[in-house]
Amino acid sequence: MRVEDPVVLVNELILPPSVEESLHQLVAEHRDAGKLLDAGLAPTRTALFVGLPGVGKTLAARWVASELNQPLIVLDLASVMSSFLGRTGANVRRVLDYARSSRAVLLLDELDAVAKRRDDTTEIGELKRLVTVLLQEIDSWPEGSLLLAATNHGDLLDPAVWRRFEVVLDFPLPDVEALKTGIRSLLGGSEVDGAFADFLARMYQGETLSFVEREVLRARRISTMNGSDLSEVLLGTARERFRRLPANERGPMAARMLKESPLSQRSVSEITGVSRDTLRKYLSLEGLGEASA
């Protein structure tokens, strides 16, 4: 068990509008529970966050706890499975009892650890007991408290687990706009302009914001230690990623980047290694029109 009190948010919460709205709804229900109670209703007690590692599930739990001005209690079920398997579920129940009696938000992290180990025939009895304890605790979670759970592998969860949660939120990989926002936030007051942030966002498509954060922070460290220009360090990283793309993808992507960003043909050519003639060819083939030289 890990207790975060006070909860410190070191990064901006950047999520799709639908997920953000649902999180705001959770917070509003618990802040103004009286309105629901007057209508014979209760705030949401349990919510499940589903998505790949690094898409913001834990950050979202921190944000909720911070907004409610409550501590965040985190129970890493993967650690529980490896450390306590062979004992009874009393260890887990003890943690949940503590969270239940505290004015805090509880996060059951890596819930899929339970599902992934169900085929372990050497420990199946203890696993079943642990799953039973968790399901019972989720079912009986008291009104007015909030239990969150996170899983990287929703497909591994038993249907009985899904049914226990009143709200299920899917956290997708960030789109280009979310990546732009995250990169600009990470760059802070640096001299790197918006066009360059746009380019980086396109280079990191398909990655999580957590991964991009590591890359940008690494570049900032290199820049600080070597006294080099941050944009040059970032450019080197981006150039390496771009040139690892299949050859038949580099031309079209460079042309699209040229059309959709304020960068000139010369800048895009230098960054990507795609010649200006090739850029013009793909602009013409894809009907993207002309772009500044």
DSSP 251-289: HHHHHHHHHHSS--HHHHHHHH---HHHHHHHHHHTT--
pLDDT at 188: 75
Number of Cβ within a 10 Å radius of residue 257: 23
- Smallest Cα–Cα separation from 183: which of 250, 225, 238? 238
- Do 238 and 203 meet the contact criterion of CB atoms below 8 Å apart? yes
Q: Token digits for 104?
A: 């805090």
Q: Which residues in the chain come in under a pLDDT of 50?
A: 117, 120, 122-123, 288-293
Percentages of the chain per state (helix, strand, coil), in multiples of 5: 55, 10, 35
- Do 148 and 64 meet the contact criterion of CB atoms below 8 Å apart? yes
pTM of the model: 0.82
d(CA 226, CA 220): 10
d(CA 250, CA 245): 6
d(CA 85, CA 92): 11
pLDDT at 146: 95
pLDDT at 122: 47
pLDDT at 293: 45
Domains of the chain: 2-170 (3.40.50.300), 176-285 (no CATH)
Name every residue whose Cβ is closer than 8 Å to that of residue 12 and which is 6 or more positions away in sequence. Answer: 181, 182, 185
